[in-house]
Amino acid sequence: MENEGDWTCDANDAVNITIVQSDEQKLKTLSSFHPQFTYPIFGDDEQIFGYKGLIIRLRFAAHDLRPHLHISYDEKFKPVGDTAASDLLKILKPWVSEEAFCTLPDYEKAVLEDKDGKDFKPPGKLVHSYTSRNRNYEIWAGSLADADVRRVLDRAQVFVSLFIEAGTPLDTDDPEWTLERWTVYFVYEKVKPPTPTASQYSIVGYSTTYRWWYYHRNKTQAPVVKNDPFPPSTEIRPAQLPARLRIAQFLILPPHQNSGHGRHLYTTIHSACIDDPTVEELTVEDPNEAFDVLRDSADYQILRPEFLKHNVNINPDPYEVHSRNQRPWLVPTATLIPVKLLHDIRKSYKIDSTQFAHILEMFLLGQIPLKNRHAGGFNMSRLLIKKYRADDPNERRYYWWRMLTKQRLYKRSKDILIQLDLGERIQKLEETVTNVEEGYEVLLKEFTAREQSLKVLEEAAEQTESRATAVEDEANASPSGTLGRDQRVKRKFTVEDDDEDEAETEDTAKRTKV
């Protein structure tokens, strides 16, 4: 038998995803890219046997994600005994909607002659709009109980397996009361249609959120009566019940990544939580490292102004309000940081406690001068000797910052740490808090660089505006009202960071709170 290696290809290379749009007489390709994962479909090895020159092309209409599957190859392995080429149609059928298995001419005709394409609007309602790099985008949100939302999401489900590690497609056949717990957010770019009948919308990404029931009772709430013979006649819908909102899936397609869309999508979801009185807090289901960075960045930008407004910082001298004979690890947290104030801030911004602790620790670390931190070359052995008795208040703040972080880490991993000897336990905590600090330093460095870049651009824009104003004043003062060519030319600046354009166009009905 011919060498099997000659008939094996990488599934990630073989699968090609194409976003298309109707043009004059044929489909226009807007973007083309490969998946990040194919192991849910083709197995852990992500290998396909039995073909040479294999291309599995998944096409999606840019506006409504109408799918099409087209398989081509140069040569197919002829069966030898029990060895045969992979049955690609059988493998792909559970992952791609049934409508994708039509012929290519039929698919092209359906997209080109789509009578509803011109008037297509994303399902749900418009909740946010913005401009980035001179391109316009919109975010639409709708309940999964809406058939239009469900249809677009069903077509996009395969993206979950191809781009979200360990991601699981949603079951949209659930009862309506379950579907009502889900909200889907679609991100679309508004593009110039190539023909009068083409749609002006092109998919960028999407996210799904789920409402988990949250038991919450206070003294003003009446107790629930079991087996009540006279139950309330009004039906209570899931959206009326207190809940934790959980982000389940979150995806920006590869052609649009690293352009700020993820932050817009996340802050839009967060804004919806703040505006919804039934939502207690926003959580995330199994976030990966990339999403953690996005979330930390967005939440930091949301909470930092609030921390600064209330002058949140570590009290370097807690012994002024507590017994000096108290050992450091027994000093109450409330003497170091304003616990009640921070609790109120967390509740008002509906950020879960673990995430809030991360952002608070990062902020408090950033309030300590770099020279007094490990990243700035601070002598850690000196800290171990001086501890809270150091002469410099910022050194004392740094000591207490490490104590606060160790406290959180110990509470989180107490069951494991108590099994270790005291010396090993202290060592593990020291190593862990140092790793956490290094991670915070990376993010703080990025935040500082971004702020400085924006500040420089804003100052340049202000200077340009001042010069333009001076030129206009001179023109108004001129008897003839005219200027030479050099004076009439005004330089234009766009205030834009590496990820997104800060000069956003907000939807007035739903403004993201940052």
Q: Which two tokens stand for residue 424?
A: 């090993």
- Residue whose tokens read 């011919």: 2
- When computed from its CA atoms, the radius of gyration of the chain, rounded to whole angstroms, is 29
* Alpha-carbon span 16 to 53, nearest angstrom: 13
Residue whose structure tokens are 């749009």: 21
Asked if 474 is an active-site residue, the reply is: no
> Which parts are annotated binding residues for acetyl-CoA?
250-252, 288
The residues near 472 (Cβ < 8 Å, ≥ 6 apart) are none
Instruction: Report residue 395 as tokens.
Output: 């050194």
Is the Cβ–Cβ distance between 149 and 123 less than 8 Å? Answer: yes
Instruction: Tell me the HSE value of 133 on the side-chain side, using a 13 A CA sphere.
Output: 10
Which residues, 6+ apart, have CB-to-CB distance to 318 below 8 Å?
331, 332, 335, 336, 388, 400
Query: Which residues are annotated as part of the binding site?
Result: 250-252, 288
CB distance 394 to 376 below 8 Å: no
On the CB side of 135, CA atoms within 13 Å amount to 17
Helix/strand/coil for 504: coil
The residue from 99, 108, 180, 285 that is catalytic is: 285
How many Cβ atoms are within 10 Å of 445's Cβ, its own excluded?
13
Positions marked active-site:
285
